[in-house]
Amino acid sequence: MIEVTLLGTGSPIPDARRAGPSTLVRAGEQIFLVDCGRGVLQRAAAVGVGANNLTALLITHLHSDHIADLADVLITRWVSNFDPNLPPLPIIGPPGIAEVVESTLAAMRFDIGYRISHHDDLTAPPQVEIEEVADGVVWGRDGVQIRVGPTDHRPVTPSIGFRVEHGGASVVLAGDTVPCQSLDELAAGAGALVHTVIREDLIEALPMQRLRDICGYHSSVEQAADTAARAGVGILILTHYVPAIQPGQEEDWRALAATVFDRQIEIGDDLHRVQVHPGVGAKPAG
Ligand SMILES: [Zn+2]
Ligand SMILES: [Zn+2]
């Protein structure tokens, strides 16, 4: 079984009820944080997960809303861990992630220096193990396998999705993307697809061109549902709602997805949790 928790279902626009984009994936004893938007560690604390419990950090792309709290994750893991042999935090992301992590640590160098000089048992800065990938298998430990595939979020490039497999269960995290063949391949037969979405019908009606621009590189609810149907996934989990879903509107969003996808559709607030069991999915596309 793999457990998916939507830690933050918001977007770049600050919202009192929704943290920034990030999803927690538990597979066996391993805990993966996928993207680290605004407020991620507060939401993780609500489900009993601290920065020092993370097995690895997976980043889909380098848009600010998806990496807004990277410094918090790196520094908090470092200062809240008392293991003298703390292993480096694996960080897997698209090319460019190394520069983002290194410059984030550079921006934090005063803080890091203060803490090293103040605490005798902190002798080195936060340790990370960065892997830049655009495609292929990136993880294989203790029965958990993770594969990466390219997505299409141009001009944000490269952007990637992740497929996590454990004990016959599988979950694909698409991130921000328009429909594309490589995502279809990554998601083929998966138990669940976690997909960011926008309501094109609502956004296209807005008078600001800068907001309407976002339709060009995100999937609408119907497009995400269509991807899920084509790939034959078992559960479609929608997140990163643009505009934010207001209380009482959930069924409108679900109905739009259901016009295209006739299996389980999950929509929720922050901390919404979905269990993905082996054998879900693998429905032939058609
Ligand atoms: Zn994005
Ligand atoms: Zn985004």
67 CA from centroid of ligand 1 (Å): 10
Q: Which of 15, 35, 65, 176 is catalytic?
A: 65
Instruction: Identify whether 261 is part of a domain.
Output: yes
136 CA from centroid of ligand 2 (Å): 23
Instruction: Identify whether 285 is part of a domain.
Output: no
Q: For residue 262, give the CATH number of its domain.
A: 3.60.15.10
Instruction: Identify whether 86 is part of a domain.
Output: yes
Structural domain range at position 22? 2-276
Kindly list the protein residues that place their beta carbon closer than 5 angstroms to ligand 1, a single-atom ion: 63, 176
pLDDT at site 285 = 46
pTM, two decimals, is 0.95
Kindly list the protein residues that place their beta carbon closer than 5 angstroms to ligand 2, a single-atom ion: 65, 176
86 CA from centroid of ligand 2 (Å): 31
Give the ligand at the shortest distance from the Cα of 65.
Answer: 2
Respond yes or no: is residue 226 known to be catalytic.
no
pLDDT in tens, the chain (286 residues): 999 999 999 988 899 999 999 999 999 999 999 999 999 999 999 999 999 999 999 999 999 999 999 999 999 999 998 887 889 999 999 999 999 999 999 999 999 999 999 998 888 999 999 999 999 999 999 999 999 999 999 999 999 999 999 999 999 999 999 999 999 999 999 999 999 998 888 887 888 888 878 777 889 999 999 999 999 999 999 999 998 998 899 999 999 999 999 999 999 999 999 999 998 876 544 4
277 CA from centroid of ligand 2 (Å): 27
Instruction: Identify whether 283 is part of a domain.
Output: no
Instruction: Identify whether 186 is part of a domain.
Output: yes
Give the ligand at the shortest distance from the Cα of 160.
Answer: 1
pLDDT at site 283 = 56
Instruction: Identify whether 286 is part of a domain.
Output: no
91 CA from centroid of ligand 2 (Å): 19
Give the ligand at the shortest distance from the Cα of 63.
Answer: 1
Q: How many domains does the chain have?
A: 1
Instruction: Identify whether 53 is part of a domain.
Output: yes
Instruction: Identify whether 6 is part of a domain.
Output: yes
How is the chain classified by DSSP, letter by letter?
A: -EEEEEEE---SS--SS-PPSEEEEEETTEEEEE---TTHHHHHHHTT--GGG-SEEE-S---HHHHTTHHHHHHHHHHT---TTPPPEEEEESTTHHHHHHHHHHHTHHHHHHHHHH-TT--SPPPEEEEE-SSEEEEEETTEEEEEEEEEETTEEEEEEEEEEETTEEEEEEES-B--HHHHHHHTT-SEEEEEEE-HHHHTTSS-HHHHGGGGGS-BHHHHHHHHHHHT-SEEEEEEEESPPPTT-HHHHHHHHHTT--SEEE--STTEEEEE-TTS--PPP-
